């Protein structure tokens, strides 16, 4: 019995995507090309294009020197927080995937208690964060205020509700308290 030869396989089958190719996929998608057209233009399989698009929607893309993050999971990975946390940030309107909103989020001291520079996985975001953020925090979460001031959680929340200390209510019983030592 004669052995059948393999069908034609794409010579680029197991090659990784380069950033230039991913940018080209992005521009072709925004131009209105379909998956088959992109596959023919780039010499990749349809499945490779589908996977690249899936990864593109979830991953990080750098476009024209501006960072854009697509999806709450990629945002979570970039800031080193949980996916539900980043989804909550997006739903509250604090941040989205655009460069301007990300920079506003990093600049605003009220959001600093929610993320740490050391946990960030994206080098560009770390550089931006280090530029704006000092050593001390001007705002504290209730849990941190308990440690700093040595008061109970309920006492701090009561003081915040009564306006005795500068604080802002977020949601789910969470407050951010102005650091008096800042």
Q: How far is CA 155 from CA 114, 119, 158, 160, 161, in A?
A: 22, 31, 5, 9, 10
- Phi/psi region, residue 75 (left: phi>0; alpha: psi -120 to 50; beta: rest), is alpha
| 99-142 pLDDT per residue, tens | 778 888 888 888 888 888 888 887 777 878 887 776 666 788 88
Residue 53 has pLDDT above 50, yes or no: yes
For residue 167, the SS3 value is: strand
For residue 123, the SS3 value is: helix
Task: Enter the DSSP assignment of 180.
Answer: T
- Are the C-beta atoms of 38 and 30 separated by less than 8 Å? no
- Please report the pLDDT score of residue 102 as a whole number: 84
When the pLDDT of each residue in the chain is averaged and rounded to a whole number, the result is: 77
């Amino acid at each position: 019995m004669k052995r059948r030869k393999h069908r034609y396989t794409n010579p680029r089958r197991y090659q990784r995507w380069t950033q230039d190719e991913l940018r080209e996929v992005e521009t072709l998608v925004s131009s209105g090309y379909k998956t088959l057209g992109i596959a023919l233009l780039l010499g990749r399989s349809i499945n490779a294009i589908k996977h690249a698009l899936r990864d593109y929607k979830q991953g990080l893309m750098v476009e024209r020197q501006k960072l854009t993050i697509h999806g709450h999971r990629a945002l979570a990975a970039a800031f080193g927080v949980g996916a539900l946390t980043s989804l909550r940030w997006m739903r509250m309107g604090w941040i989205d995937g655009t460069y301007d909103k990300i920079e506003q989020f990093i600049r605003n001291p009220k959001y600093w208690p929610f993320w740490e520079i050391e946990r960030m996985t994206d080098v560009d975001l770390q550089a931006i964060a280090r530029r704006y953020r000092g050593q001390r925090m001007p705002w504290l979460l209730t849990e941190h205020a308990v440690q700093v001031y040595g008061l109970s959680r309920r006492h701090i929340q009561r003081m915040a509700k009564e306006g005795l200390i500068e604080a802002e209510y977020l949601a789910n019983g969470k407050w951010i308290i102005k650091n008096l030592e800042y």
